[in-house]
Amino acid sequence: MKKIIFINLIVASFVFTSGVALADCSGAYYGSSSCSDSGFNLTKRVSRNDSTETKEKLTGIKKGETFKYTFKIDNKTDENKTLKLIDNLPSELERVGGIGFTEEVTINKNDSAKLTMEVKVKDSEFENKKDFEKCVVNTAYLFKDSVKKESSSATVCFGEGTAKDLPTTGPSDILGVVGTLLIGLGSIISRKK
């Protein structure tokens, strides 16, 4: 019995420690994929042009509708820094206004900057298609002196179909897997007694 309790404590410690680590990393499913401490932070979000609410995922974009990507860059260092933001759009999208695909921005120490790019889905993506939905993930990259420091993604879904969310993953999935392993491990240890 003592062996089972000891193993449970080790696994529980791992799960809770892993949960904290997962919570500290930004962007699990659609957003930022960076977990480093580079001194900078990049957050990319998307919104309809008539809305101030930005999201990691925007659905229901129709033919001809424009939307915007918003980039927030934080300089967490104690020096003014010039950074390069690169965002090459997927082939399904086209830029119609705002910043270009490559922008240099100088940000004061412990300050931030916001940039926007206006975009639309190419009309050709809607040609000869009925009752469809397509999602594209677009990632922006932040560089300092040609070294990638951060990245962040946003997803846009377009078409005439119904939006379907993909399953999310995270700490709760780990707990389920660990729980299953514990049950199996407990039965193995019990049989050896």
Q: Which residue has the higher pLDDT, 19 or 146?
A: 146
Contact (CB, 8 A) for 71 and 47 = no
Give which of 24, 42, 22 is closest to 87, Cα–Cα. Answer: 42
Structure-token match 């480093």, residue found: 36
When mean pLDDT is compared across 24-33, 58-67, 82-91, 143-152, the lowest value belongs to 24-33
CA 187, CA 46: separation in Å to the nearest integer? 49
On the question of pLDDT at 132 being above 70, the answer is yes
CB contact set of 15 (below 8 Å; sequence gap of 6+) = 171, 174, 175, 178
Calculate the alpha carbon distances from 71 to 11, 86, 116, 165 in Å: 39, 11, 6, 24
Q: The pTM is what?
A: 0.65
Average pLDDT over residues 98-117: 96
Domains identified in the chain and CATH numbers: 1-28+170-193 (no CATH), 29-167 (2.60.40.10)
